[in-house]
């Protein structure tokens, strides 16, 4: 598991891109009943794994990304670029595509 995390850390997003990992939906109910894959909800929540340094604006000033590693974010229903490291799937989004930062 640590080798996969290390491999993901080697992915350094460029400009204003953000690498996220979707949070997996619950596989069981509170009482322990298994939920079939087709019945599981597709969550649009993810954890930020890595962020780029930011993108330059029209004046050439680099504007930093608005999220940090470890924060939870709300994702749009479509978009992003899938990245697979081993069996783990990540998605790259532009900072402006993220819908919201979730407070926990």
pTM greater than 0.85 (yes/no): no
pLDDT at 104: 72
In this predicted model, what pLDDT tens digit does every residue of 48-60 receive, in sequence order? 999 999 888 889 8
Expressed as residue numbers, the domain containing 44 is 2-102
pLDDT at 18: 93
pLDDT at 94: 93
Query: How far does Cα 79 stand from its chain's mean position?
Result: 12
Measured CA to CA in angstroms, residue 66 lies from 32, 50, 82, 95, 99 at distances of 38, 12, 21, 7, 11
pLDDT at 71: 92
Say if residues 53 and 62 touch (Cβ distance below 8 Å): yes
Domain tally for the chain? Answer: 1
Domain containing residue 42: CATH number: 2.30.33.40
* Residue predicted with more confidence, 97 or 7: 97
- In this model, does residue 46 exceed pLDDT 70? yes
In this predicted model, what pLDDT tens digit does every residue of 58-82 receive, in sequence order? 898 989 999 999 999 999 988 889 9
- In this model, does residue 99 exceed pLDDT 60? yes
């Amino acid at each position: 598991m640590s080798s996969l995390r290390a491999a993901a850390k080697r992915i350094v997003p460029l400009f204003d891109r953000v690498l996220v990992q979707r949070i997996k939906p619950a596989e069981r109910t509170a009482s322990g009943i298994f939920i079939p894959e087709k019945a599981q909800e597709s969550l649009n929540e993810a954890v930020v794994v890595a962020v780029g340094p930011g993108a330059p604006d029209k004046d050439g000033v680099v504007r930093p990304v608005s999220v940090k590693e470890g924060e939870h974010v709300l994702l749009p229903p479509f978009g992003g670029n899938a990245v697979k490291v081993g069996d783990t799937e990540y998605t790259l989004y532009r900072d402006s595509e993220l819908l919201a930062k979730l407070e926990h």
